Chains A and B, each alone.
Chain A
């Protein structure tokens, strides 16, 4: 067995005390960093939509009073939303359009819910720069945006003009034949 000299022992002791000290510093720093992060997060999170805004993130709307050929504009998440009760003629026109003619190809079925094809629900902001298009006008029996001349068809798809995309269909579902939940 080898016995350590005195110098060796003291060096060792110094070493372990250095390690203990480093550990303490690192632990304190780490815990402090965790604490700082835990303080910062709520300060940022408060910027998110508050509970009263979130409560209106999803709305229910009774579509029964809207007659065929009528549209209403409702507000959802602060945005205007078209709810259009389409005529059979409009639906036919929309279905007849060949995909090749479309700037942003999308079928009419993809923009409506099966069994509820007469209902078209879209966010009412033009996909160009956000104006609200005028209903039942333009060259395609749909919507026409007066700001920069975008024409949308009876399924709300862009046909001519500067807008790049079809009018956006928000997430929605039919809770019954007359009650729709948007969002």
Chain B
């Protein structure tokens, strides 16, 4: 990966270091000189924003772990102790809790950007799959983190989700007991979730490193999806994109700070201010908003399919929904990457976004009509989009003519403006 290297060690010390461990050379190549398409729009800043989100969660999380007690008798009060007695604890705790939501806002935007601009297509399949892995790991981390305050939603969320394992035929109950460390959610569960919640972010960080590595092999996709032809199409990452990304981060921090300081609990649920009680279920269990689309798909299967009962069916559907993301590079075989030049795709993509938001909305509603029917319709469309619409569109759609290069497209835009 040294083809872009322009690094010349200035001093004898730098030369000495460069011969042994070329970190400076590596940083210069990948963080400064890396040729980046010059037409990236602001949707592309969410990668950097996500790195920031991960950093914020790790730093605030390490601090919270200094004061938190993973014990069913003490966990709830220890979180309140952080809010009440630790210097700045209210804000640090709120940053971590709101930060989880902001992380998913950025994550979904980043993924939907990739889905629209065809960033998953060759030669970026591995890059995309690593991204899906990060999404799944983040979901697991967030889910386990939500257990830790040991409120009613924590407890019942853990109970409901851990029952997913019991849907597995034959060994389901054994696996559930293995995961929980008991017959129901309890102290062993809380302890191991705390341990894993602390571990997983570092694994996520490692996968992020691979994700960026996989990005730096083919280089960035871009809004027109046309490959970089020559150096006129690119600018060095620094200072152009470092500055643009930093600006994006600061903008992103404004709504982040709004929630942290003015409405820290608005994204949570009041029931989580009631300590966990295994004898009383809250009247309406809702997962955190970012899990809702998949939760809706899980709930939508309320009927048996042949020999598969509804419970296992729901779990399979939810797993399938995530698996669709993994294989999308091979479902959408259109040679044109960017949705900008795909007149039919754009409409279906729009419907898909709306459908996804609808799935999210439906997950928060009670299991009653008309929501249950709508949930089935939206679930069906979700799968239809990946399994039928994308493959068929790839065959029948006539794309608009592509610009020959990024430079040409940029100049064309200027002419229109």
Give the interface of A toward B (CB within 8 A).
42-43, 45-48, 50-53
Interface pair B92/A42, CB less than 8 Å apart: yes
Q: Which residues of B contact A45 (CB under 8 A)?
A: 87-88
Inter-subunit contact A42/B87 (CB<8 Å): yes
A52 contact set on B, CB distance < 8 A = 81, 85
User: Is there an interface contact between B86 and A50, defined as CB atoms closer than 8 Å?
Assistant: yes
Interface string of B80-116 (1 = CB under 8 A from A): 0100111111011000000000000000000000000
B24 contacts A by Cβ under 8 Å: no
Within 8 A of A (CB), among B36-68: 59, 63, 66-67
Contact residues on B (Cβ < 8 Å of other chain), bracket: 10 to 19
Partner of B84, one of A43, A48, A51: A51
Q: Is the interface of B mostly helix, strand, loop or mixed?
A: helix
Which B residues touch A51, using CB under 8 A?
84-87
Contacts of A53 in B (CB 8 A): 85
Which residues from A are CB-within-8-Å of B81?
50, 52
Question: Are B92 and A43 in touch, CB under 8 angstroms?
Answer: yes
Query: What is the distance, in angstroms, from B94's C-beta to the closest C-beta of chain A?
Result: 12
Q: What CA separation (Å) do A53 and B81 show in the bound complex?
A: 11
Determine the distance from Cα of A52 to Cα of B85 in the docked complex, in whole angstroms: 6
Q: How far is the CA of A50 from the CA of B63 in the complex (A)?
A: 13
- Residues of chain B with a CB closer than 8 A to A47's CB: 66
A41's nearest neighbour on chain B, judged by CB, is B88
Contact B59 A46 (CB under 8 A): no
Please give, as numbers and ranges, the residues of chain A lying within 8 Å of B88 by CB-CB distance: 42-43, 45-46
B247 to chain A: closest residue by CB: A28
Closest 10 CB pairs of A and B: A42-B88, A51-B85, A50-B85, A52-B85, A50-B86, A45-B87, A46-B87, A46-B88, A46-B86, A48-B87
Interface residues of chain A: helix, strand, loop or mixed (majority):
helix
Q: A52–B87 Cα gap in the complex (Å)? A: 11
A99 → chain B closest CB, angstroms? 45
| Whole-angstrom CA separation of A42 from B87 in the bound complex | 7
Nearest chain-A residue to B239 (Cβ)? A25
- Per the bound structure, the CA–CA distance linking A42 and B60 in Å amounts to 11
Q: How far is the CB of A50 from chain B (nearest CB, A)?
A: 4
19 contacting pairs across A/B (C-beta < 8 A):
A42-B87, A43-B59, A43-B63, A43-B88, A45-B87, A45-B88, A46-B63, A46-B66, A46-B88, A46-B89, A46-B92, A47-B66, A48-B87, A50-B87, A50-B89, A51-B84, A51-B86, A52-B81, A52-B85
Query: How distant is the Cα of A48 from the Cα of B92 in the complex, in angstroms?
Result: 14
Give chain B residues whose Cβ lies under 8 Å from the Cβ of A50: 67, 81, 85-87, 89
CB distance from B248 to the nearest CB of A (A): 14
Complex interface: chain A residues within 8 A of B87 (CB): 42, 45-46, 48, 50-51
Distance in Å: Cβ of A39 to nearest Cβ of chain B: 9
User: Which of B67, B81, B85 lies at the interface centre, i.e. has the most chain A CB atoms within 10 A of its CB?
Assistant: B85
In the complex, given contacts A46-B88, A51-B86, A52-B81, what are 5 additional A-B residue pairs having Cβ atoms less than 8 angstroms apart?
A43-B59, A46-B92, A47-B66, A48-B87, A50-B86
Instruction: Please encode chain B, from 345 to 361, with 1 for each CB lying within 8 Å of some chain A CB and 0 for all others.
Output: 00000000000000000
Nearest-Cβ distance from residue B97 to partner chain A, whole angstroms: 16
Q: How far is the CA of A42 from the CA of B95 in the complex (A)?
A: 12
The reply to whether A42 and B85 form a contact with Cβ atoms under 8 Å apart is no
**Closest B residue, CB atoms, query A48:** B87
Which of B59, B66, B87 has the most chain A CB within a 10 Å cutoff?
Answer: B87
Instruction: Give A52 to B67 CA distance when docked, in angstroms.
Output: 13
A residues in contact with B63, CB < 8 Å: 43, 46
Closest to A50 in B: B85
Minimum CB–CB distance from A22 to chain B (whole Å) comes to 14
Q: What distance in Å separates the Cβ of A52 from its nearest Cβ neighbour in chain B?
A: 5
**Cα distance A119–B85 in the bound complex, in angstroms:** 35
A42 neighbours in B (Cβ, 8 Å): 87-88, 91-92
CB distance from A18 to the nearest CB of B (A): 16
State the Cβ distance, B312 to closest chain A Cβ, in Å: 46
- Name the distance in Å between A15's Cβ and chain B's nearest Cβ: 22
| A32: nearest chain-B partner, CB-CB | B246
Q: How far is the CA of A52 from the CA of B80 in the complex (A)?
A: 12
Which residue of B is nearest A35, CB measured?
Answer: B250
A81 to B34, CA, bound (A): 64
In the assembled complex, which residues on chain A have CB atoms less than 8 Å from the CB atom of B85? 50-53
The smallest beta-carbon distance between A62 and chain B, in angstroms, is: 27
Residue of A nearest to B91 (CB): A42
Nearest-CB distance from B265 to chain A (Å)? Answer: 20
A151 vs chain B, min Cβ distance (A):
41
In the complex, which residues of chain B have a beta carbon less than 8 angstroms from the beta carbon of A43?
59, 63, 88, 92
| Cβ-closest chain A residue relative to B86 | A50
In the complex, what distance in Å separates the CA atom of A50 from the CA atom of B67?
10
What residues on A are CB-neighbors of B91 within 8 Å?
A: 42
